[in-house]
A = this chain, B = another copy of it.
Amino acid sequence: MARNADSPALPRSVDVARLAEVSQKTVSRVFNNEPYVSEEVRRRVLAAADQLGYRLNNAARVLASGRSRSIGVVTLGTALYGPTSLLIGIERAVRDVGYTLRVATTVEGDTGGVAGAVESLLDQGVDGVIISEPIDDGAGPVQIGVPVLVLGAPPAFAGPHVVATGVRSDLLARVATEHLLDLGHRTVHHVAGPQRWFSARDRLDGWRTALRARGCPEPTVVEGDWSAASGYLAGRQLATDDTVTAVFAANDDMAIGLIRGLMEAGLRVPEDVSVVGFDDIPLAGYVTPPLTTARQPFDVVAREGLT
């Protein structure tokens, strides 16, 4: 027996049934909100359950029914605002449809980490898998027996059981870039996210699209790693190029670092160089100078995916 001697064995549904003087199956019906149970009986069962402190055994339920009512999400183990917000949105959305969430994190740089994370989720018996901020680590979606939802990947990523939902951050990126062009800049530079991330590529695509639509020259892209530190380095670098008058950064952290890099090099923001970020972190309006940024609708994205 695994049960400790000091804690009295937990009550099971038969115990409740006995106390309520009904069959065990009726208890099951009550706890599953199935129809065809008289109010009278339902009340009795609930009272008995309450008295005993009964709690439905999830493992047994899953085993017998074949469905776990849980879905797994693969996410990056970082405190970055974007991925975190998306995860929170997913959690809400999943719970709203009556499922629970299993989280598996991958570490950046660990190629094949996604596959491993998916494996571990499958071992836990999830009914479906969401791959949150996917990165392109070679391996396409594995052939697995449950539905997979890939957030932010191009539709080309879809497969038999695989659905891909785009965040359309390319559109937002395009708008952000156009905003800068509307200010009268000849062109806009871009500090991109790591190009292994689909979301980074999306933003770059949106930026490029905007420039082409206006026939603007397309400057060389500086690639960062989402961190303020990398944005700072990009800023120092861009400051040496006096054609730079406007910069679109792929996230707010890099934008903030970028601004500092530019300022340290003697440039004024926004007088000499305009900067636009991406994500709309809560801090954005409070740094000096305040950061203009595009807001991503994380909650909407998360909700959309759950068909």
Contacts and interface: CB of A to CB of B under 8 A. Distances in A.
A230 to B, nearest CB: 10
Interface stretch (A39-47, A197-205, A237-245, A278-286): A278-286
Given A63-B63, A228-B282, A283-B256, A55 B105 contact: no
A122 interface: yes
Nearest to A73: B103
| Chain A: interface size category | 35 or more
Contacts of A92: 77, 105
Interface in A88-132: 88, 91-92, 100-103, 105, 120, 122-125
B65 A62 contact: no
A79 B68 contact: no
A5 interface: no
Interface in A43-97: 55-60, 62-63, 65-68, 70, 77-79, 81, 84-85, 88, 91-92
A226 to B, nearest CB: 9
Nearest to A107: B92
B79 A84 contact: yes
A99 to B, nearest CB: 11
A70, A122, A228 — most chain B CB neighbours (10 Å): A228
Nearest to A62: B59
Nearest to A61: B59
B283 A253 contact: yes
A33 interface: no
12 contacts: A2-B65, A10-B145, A56-B123, A57-B63, A58-B123, A59-B62, A60-B63, A77-B91, A228-B286, A253-B282, A257-B286, A260-B286
Q: Which 8 pairs across A and B sit closest by C-beta, in order of nearness?
A: A2-B66, A59-B62, A228-B286, A59-B63, A257-B286, A79-B84, A58-B125, A260-B286
